[in-house]
Amino acid sequence: MNDNQSQQRQNPFFLPYNTPHDTVPFDRIRLEDYEEAFMEGIRRDNEQIEKTINNPEKPTFDNTIIDKDDDTEGYYDLLERVSTVFFNLLSAETNDDMDALAQKMQPILTQHANDVRLNERLFERIKYVHRHHRKLTPEEKMLLENTYQGFVRSGALLDKEGKERLRKLTEEASMLSLQFSQNLLKENKAYTLHIADPAQLDGLPQTAIDAADGNLLNDEGYTNLEVYLNSLVAEITEKQNEGGQMMGGEPVAATELEVSGMTSYDNWTFAGGLKITGTSGTPATGNASTIKFSSNKTYTIVLPADVTIDEVTIYGYGNADGKPIYLAELAGKDYGETDYVFPARDANPASATYVIKLDNPVKDKLTFTPKGDAQACLWLKMHVASTSSGIKTVNTAIRSNNTIYTISGQRVQQPVRRGLYIINGKKIIVN
């Protein structure tokens, strides 16, 4: 390549990919492209933040959480795109040069993330929108809540001293985490398992045994290991297609069910098949995704079939200045005015969280009664009781003619211990 051609070449991260399904053009990316794209992505991030915080208009969902006037799709997500490509390759196909670049970029990226999450002017706009916003769709509501909680959990509510300490801790932790992952990957690559007794290979398909020689290439240039893994994926996909199943197999039962603004639908129904009876319309929401409940009234949550609740976490506050509320009843058990108190919204702290273990686990329904002189703003997270074995068992017969793989890709005749298996192309938890 002559000097003129070199000067004309552009970083592929700065251009439309123009590939099927917008897949990453790995063949056009060079090592030197990453650092340039990282630094430009940080600059664009800062540019977007300055544009947002200097907007003279009142903060709204549309000009703060999203920007409908910004039609430069792909411009401001550069940092996310290059980070996704780089760090996935770093964990899957790294080399000494990529490891060195990661060591160089990690503190810069961590500092930038802290600068964004701890930007007081930006958080003030987000906090305002969180409390004052137009009617949102469920998707918009989820985006707003995740954005607000993401800033809070990243230290936005800390004082100045707390933020500085958080910066130091996150910068140190990010480097330690990177170093650990790099060391672990090197150790894994260097590890060799020597099997002298052929009996230990009983039940392992010949393709997997052949795959142990990862340096042996076939006529098409693939190693035995690659051939085996490709055939395994093909078999799983074929079996799932035959059964009309999407990748992921059998659904796994939820371990928690939640009544909150993030899970609410119309008519007081909630994600996971929950419904609160005796009410109508759309639930009103308070701060931190709470639902607004009238005090001095008993509510009944109808639970999905075959679900048992043994523990409930409740977060909330009284929705009036100077007026706390309390939990008077849960799952048929009465409580006193001082057992589970939720402070008034102007108190410090302005909310409380309690984890309540039920004396008698409940099925079919769960009742609760808030009391006080103010509206109760609450969210409830209900823990689904585990089975006696501690593992959710999918009722699928394990027949001798099934095709069974362990999660690591080893084909077996029968599951030899409980855990996750791929049986006829479906992920099954065997007890």
User: CA 399 → CA 396, 403, 419, distances in Å?
Assistant: 9, 9, 17
Pairing of the two strands 352-363 and 404-406: unpaired
Per-residue pLDDT of the chain (431 residues; tens, 9 = 90+): 455 554 578 999 999 888 888 899 999 999 999 999 999 999 999 999 999 999 999 999 999 998 755 555 678 889 999 999 999 998 877 888 999 999 999 999 999 999 999 999 999 999 999 988 888 888 888 899 889 989 998 999 899 999 999 999 998 988 888 888 878 777 776 766 666 677 776 777 666 666 565 555 555 555 555 555 556 655 555 554 444 444 444 444 557 889 988 888 878 988 888 999 877 777 888 888 899 999 999 999 999 888 899 999 999 999 999 999 999 999 999 999 999 999 999 988 888 999 999 999 999 999 999 999 999 999 999 998 864 433 333 333 444 445 565 554 555 666 555 555 566 555 555 54
**What domains can be seen in the chain, in order of their start residue?**
3-186 (1.10.1370.40), 198-250+390-430 (no CATH), 256-384 (2.60.120)
**Residue whose C-alpha is closest to residue 334's, from 298, 309, 381, 375:** 298
